[in-house]
Structure 1
Amino acid sequence: MSLYRATNLGLTVHTLKSTSVQYSIESLDEGFSYSGTTTAGDPDVVAIPLNYEVFLSSYPYRKLGLHITSLETEPVSVVAWSKNIYGYFSFLGLPCHTQPTNSYVYYAVSSHGYSNFPGYFLLVGCMNNTNVTIVPSHYANITMPINPQSPNSGYKTYLAGENNTFVIHAGQTIKVYQTYADISGTKTISDAPLTVISGHTAAQVPLGTIGTDPMATQVPPTITWGTEFLLSPHHNRNTGQFYKIIAHRNGTNIERKCDTSPTVNATLSSGQVYQFNTSNTSYCSLVANRPIYVGHVGTSRNFNGGTYGDPTLNTVPPISQYLHSIEYTTLFTTLNGVSILVPNDQYFSNYLIIDNTLRSISWTSIINFPNGTIAGYAFSASTSGTHKFTHSRNSGRLFLSVYGWPPYRGYAFSGGMGLNPIDPHVTHPLVSFTQELFIASEGNGEVIIYLKRKVDVEEEVSVRVSVAPQQVDTAEGK
C-alpha cells in the first residue's frame, strides 16, 4: 500500500461462495504471511503490518508487495483500506490478469494537494522480468531512481518527452511521485500486467479548498476501458463531486448528458485529462468514440458550502465491465452510502436481489444517453455493514460504489468490475506470449496452439488449456 505515515493498514476479503473459501497472503520479503477463510456474508478482515507501507521510491521499499491467492474455482475480492493523521483511503484491488496483448498501458489519476504532499502512482510487479516505461505527462516532472533494481542507483527528474525504462519483478514495489502538480495522465507501458495504484497523499479538491485527505484507486489497463458510462453521485453529501476523464487515443470525442441539461461535448488528445463537477443529485451518462478512463472524485470538506467529508477517489467502470453480483462491507457504522447502476438492456427489470431476497426497486433516477434513449437506472441509499446486490436476471449486470463521510474524513471504493478486453479486432488466431502464460484467441472458431522448444530440453512440458471458466483441459507431452 502507499499512504503517508499510516496508522493502520487493512484488507477486507470477500467471496460470493456460500461455503468457506481459503486464501493466503505472502509478502515478497517473506516477513509476513497469512492464511484465512472467507464466506459470502462473512468477509475476513486482515491487519497488515505498518512496515508494508511503501513510503518512498528508494531501494529499501522495493520488496513490499503482497501476493494474495485462492483457488481458481474459489475467487475472492479484496478491498484495501488505511488511515493516517489526515484521513482514510480505500480501493478495490484488481487481480493480476493477463490480457491478449504484449503492451499494457496504464494512466495515473491524481489531484492537486496540500503544500508539498505528493501525488503518486505505485507499481507492483505481477511477473518477473517485466519491462516498464514511464512517460511523464505535460505537467509532471517525475523524480525517481534511474535503475530501480540497483540499491546504488542515482535519481533523475524526468520531464515530458523524457522516458525512463527499467525492469520490475513479481512482487516488487516502485513508488513514483511528485509534489506541487497533478500527475494525472502520466503513462506507464509494460510488456506484462502490473498492479498500478494511483492517488494522492493529501489531496485538495479543488486546490486551495479547506480539507485534505489521502485518496487512491487501482487503475485498470487501457485494454479494459470502454465507451459507455453511467455516473451516480455521492447522494448523501451536498458538496457534489468531480469526474476525471483520461483519453488514450488522439481524437477522442466525449458526450455527456446530466439529467435534463443540454449535452456537453469535448475532444481530447492522448493522455489529456478532462474534469467536470456535478451536484449530489445529478445522474449522468458518458459516451465516447474511443475508450476512456473515468474517475469519481470526492471534494474537500468546505467546497460548495460543505461541512463534512473530504476527498475520495474511485474508478468508474464502463457498462461493458459491470458484474452480475457484488458483495461489499462499509468502513464505518454511520454516514455510509451505496449507489447502484443498472444498464437499460434486454435483461433489465425493476427488481434486485438484495442479501438473497428479491426486492422491488423504486429507482432514484432514470439516466438518458445524449441521443435521448434511456441508458440506465440508478438507486442510492444509506447503508452499513456487509451486503450483496445481485441482478434479478441471470445474464443481467450492475455496478455499485460505496462511500462514507465522517466529519473530517472520507472514503470511497468501487464494489467490483470486470477486466474483459475490449473488442481486440481479432480476425486470425492470435497467441500472445508472456513469461508464464500463453493466450490464444479464436478466429473462425478454431485455434491451434503450437509450442516450439530447444532440442536439448528433455523435461516434460505441461500445457493447461482453459476453454471456458468451468471447462479446463490439460495436455502433457515430451
Structure 2
Amino acid sequence: MARVLLSMLVMVASFGCSQAARDNKGTEFILTFPENFQRDQNRPKLFIACPHPTGARVTITLPYNGDTDTVTVNHGRVEEVELRREAVELRDSEKSDGGGRAVHITSDVEIVVYGVFAELKSSDAYLALPTDVLGTEYYAACSSIARNRNQEGWDDMPSQFGVVGVHAGTTVTIVPSQAVEFDRRNYGAGQAFSVVLDRFETLQVQATEDLTGSKITATQPVAVLSGNTFAYCLPMGERQRGTGDHLVQMIPPVDTWGEEFVTVPLSRHRGGDLFRVVAARDNTQVDVTNENAKTLNAGEFWEIDIPSDEYRHVTTSEPVLLVQYSKTGSADNTATDPFMMIIPSVAQFEAEYTFSTVDLLYDPSRTTHHINVVTSSADIAGLRLDEQPLPSDTVWHDVPGTRYAAAQLTVSGGTHTVRHMSPIVTTGLFSYGFTYLESYGYPGGLRLAQIAAPCSTTAPVPADRVDNDCDGRVDEELLNGIDDDGDGLIDEDLAIGNCADHRRQYETCLLQRCRNMAP
C-alpha cells in the first residue's frame, strides 16, 4: 500500500504542472480603453490582483510612448496603476495613430487584471482577458443611444467597439450592424470592411446608432472591447434620459460562448434589469423563463426587461452572448447608475475566484459593493467567502426550473475570494458597485473553455479547461475512480481537485483511489 501511495503522489504532483488553464487569469494581457465622453482628465487605471501566495512581479508597457512600469503585487492585495490617458484611450472612429493605444501587461505568475475608467459621473470597469484565450470571431454588445446630450462636443453619444492587435499582420474584418463612418469613409449596415493591425495597433468604430450585433473577425487572435461612450440603459423604444454612465466590457470570443445561463437581479434596484441575448449563428432558438421563445439569426439580439424580484433560466440551441445592464437610477429613484456586465454561461462557471472592487469618485462615502452568486441548491453549504462560511442571514432564491439557487451579498471594498469546498462544484460570481451617479460591474471571473468550437475527445489532463469528453462541461470529474458527474464514464474530464487537492477530503479520496488501483 505504501508503494502505491507513493506512486499516486508522484502522479498527482505531475498533474500540477499541466498547461495554463483557459480562464481570466494569465501572465500576458493586451488591452485598451474605448473612449469615455467625460473630459475631467481622471486617468484610466489597471487594478491587478494576484491569487498566487508568493505574489507577482508585473511589468506594464505603453507601446504608444514607451512608458514602462514594474510593480510588485502581493497576495490578497490590489495594486492600482495609473495610465497616461493620451497613451491608452481610443478616440474617434478610426485606426489609432502613432502605433496604437494598447496596454501590454506581463507577469511572472498568473494574475487577475481589471481595466478601470473612473471618470467623475461617468465610470465603468471591465475584467480583462489574457492573450492565451483570445479568439478570431466576436460580436459587439452596446446599448441604446443617449441623444441630445450636448456636452463635451457631442450631441448624440456614440456606441462603440475597439480592437487591439496581438500579432503582426492581422487582417481584421468588420461587418457593422449600423451605418458607420470609419477613417473618413462611409460604410452601410452589413457592408464589410477590413483593416490590418500589427501587434499593439488599435482601432475604434463608433456610430450614433446601436452597434450591438456588429461582427468582428480576424486572421489571428485579437482583443475586442465594446460599449457606449455614455448611456442610460433604458429599454429600447423608451426615451433615453436620467443619470448615465460610460459602458465597457471586454468581449469573450464566440468559441467560448454557451447555451445555458441564469439571470440574477441587481441589489438596490427596484425597477428591473435589462438583458441582451446576442446570437452568433442563424436559427438560434432562445428560451427564457416566463417569456415566449424567440429565434435569432447571427448578429441579431433580444433585449429583455426582467423585474427585480425574478430569477430566470436562459437556454439556447446555439451558443450566445448574454449581457446584463444596470438601468439609470432615475428609472426607480435609486442611488445607482448604468453599467454593462458579461454573464458567463453555466458551463463557464469557476470553482474559485479572486476578485476586486472598484473605487468610485463622485461620492465615495456612499459607495456600496455587491456580489451575485449562483450555485447548485444542494451545494450552498460548501461555499466560502474569504475562507469563511457565507453570512447566516444570506437569502437564497431558487431559480425556477433548474437545480440552481442565487443570492445577493454586500461586501467591503478591496480584494475577496469565493470558492467551494469541493473542486468540482462550480459557482457563478458577478461583482458590481454603486454610488450616486456612478457604478461598475463585471463577472468575478470565468472559465474560457472553447465549448462552442468543434470538439474531439482528448486525454484528460487535470484543470486544462478543455472539454475532454465533449459533453459541454469542463473539468467536472475528480481523479478518484468514481463517476462524479453520472454520465457513465470515470475520470474522463478532470478538475484540479485530484486527490492531493480534494479540500479536507485528501485521505478519503486518496485511499479510495488506491483501493481502486490495487490488484
State the alpha-carbon separation in 2 of the partners of residues 242 and 441 from structure 1: 31
* 1:143 counterpart = 2:181: yes
State the alpha-carbon separation in 1 of the partners of residues 55 and 119 from structure 2: 33
CA 290–77 in structure 1, closer or farther in 2 if over 3 Å, else same? same
Which of 434, 440, 465 is equivalent to 1:405?
434
Q: Distance in 2 between matches of 1:408 and 1:161?
A: 36
Q: Indicate the SS of the match to 2:445.
A: coil
2:192 to 157, 163, 171: 163
Query: Which whole-Å CA distance do the structure 1 matches of 2:357 and 2:186 have between them?
Result: 40
Counterpart contact for 1:230–1:367, Cα < 8 Å: no
Q: Does 1:357 align with 2:388?
A: yes
For residues 98 and 232 of structure 2, the distance between their equivalents in structure 1, rounded to whole angstroms, comes to 27
Q: In the TM superposition, what whole-angstrom CA distance separates every residue of 1:99-134 from its partner, at most 9, and x where no partner exists?
A: 7x8x52333433322332111001111111111100
Structure 2 residue 140 is the aligned partner of structure 1 residue 107: yes
Indicate the SS of the match to 1:302. Answer: helix
1:36 aligns with 2:71: yes
Q: Which residue of 2 aligns with 1:417?
A: 446
> What's the offset of the Cα at 1:44?
0.8
Show the 5 A alignment for 1:24-63: 24-51=59-86, 52-56=88-92, 57=94, 59-60=96-97, 62-63=99-100
Which has the larger strand fraction?
1
Amino acid at match of 1:84: E
Identify the match of residue 249 of structure 1 among 271, 281, 303.
281
Deviation, 1:178, is 0.8
Paired residue for 1:392? 421
Confirm whether residue 21 of structure 1 aligns to residue 49 of structure 2. Answer: no
Moved more, 200-209 or 285-294: 200-209
| 1:130 corresponds to | 170
Q: Give the match for residue 257 of structure 2.
A: 225
**Compared CA separation, residues 443 and 236, structure 1 to 2 (3 A):** closer
Give yes or no for contact 1:335–1:404 (8 Å, CA) kept in 2: yes
CA shift in 2, pair 1:130/1:106, >3 Å: farther
What is the one-letter code of the residue matched to 1:228?
E
How many residues are paired up? Answer: 413
Show CA shifts across 1:415-462 (max 9, x none).
Answer: 111211015334499xxxxxxxxxx99999xxxxxxxxxxxxxxxxxx
Please tell me whether the aligned partners of residues 80 and 93 of structure 1 are also in contact (alpha carbons under 8 angstroms). Answer: yes
The residue that corresponds to 1:198 in the other structure is 226
Q: Which of 95, 101, 106 is the equivalent residue of 1:64?
A: 101
- Give the equivalent residue in structure 1 for 2:268: 236
Matched residue, 2:110: 75
Using the size of structure 1 for normalisation, the TM-score is 0.80
TM-score (norm 2): 0.74
- Aligned partner (choices 315, 318, 324) of residue 351 of structure 2: 324
Gaps of 5+ in 1: 146-154, 430-439, 445-467, 470-478
1:257-272 to 2 correspondence within 5 Å?
Answer: 257=289, 262-272=290-300
Structure 1 residues 427 and 93 mapped into 2: Cα distance closer, same or farther (>3 Å)? closer
Of all paired residues, the percent bearing the same amino acid is 22
Describe the shift of the 1:349–1:367 C-alpha distance in structure 2 as closer, same or farther (beyond 3 A): closer
Q: Give the Cα separation in 1 of the matches to 2:264 and 2:469.
A: 38
What are the ranges of 5 or more consecutive residues in structure 2 without an aligned counterpart? 1-32, 149-155, 459-465, 471-494, 497-519
**CA contact 2:399–2:406 (8 Å) conserved in 1:** no
The offset of 1:264, in angstroms, is: 3.5
Give the C-alpha shift of residue 349 in structure 1. Answer: 4.0
**2:205 counterpart residue number:** 176
In structure 1, the partner of 2:507 is none
Task: Please tell me whether the aligned partners of residues 101 and 201 of structure 2 are also in contact (alpha carbons under 8 angstroms).
Answer: yes
What code does the residue aligned with 1:356 have? E
Taking the aligned partners of 1:17 and 1:353, their CA distance within structure 2 comes to 18
What's the secondary structure of 1:208's corresponding residue?
coil
Map Cα deviations across residues 377-420 of structure 1 (whole Å, 9 max, x no partner): 21211122221111221122222212222112222122111211
Q: For 1:384 and 1:29, how far apart are their aligned partners in 2?
A: 36
Partner residue of 2:316 out of 285, 288, 291? 288
Structure that is richer in helix per residue = 2
**What SS does structure 2 have at the residue aligned with 1:326?**
strand
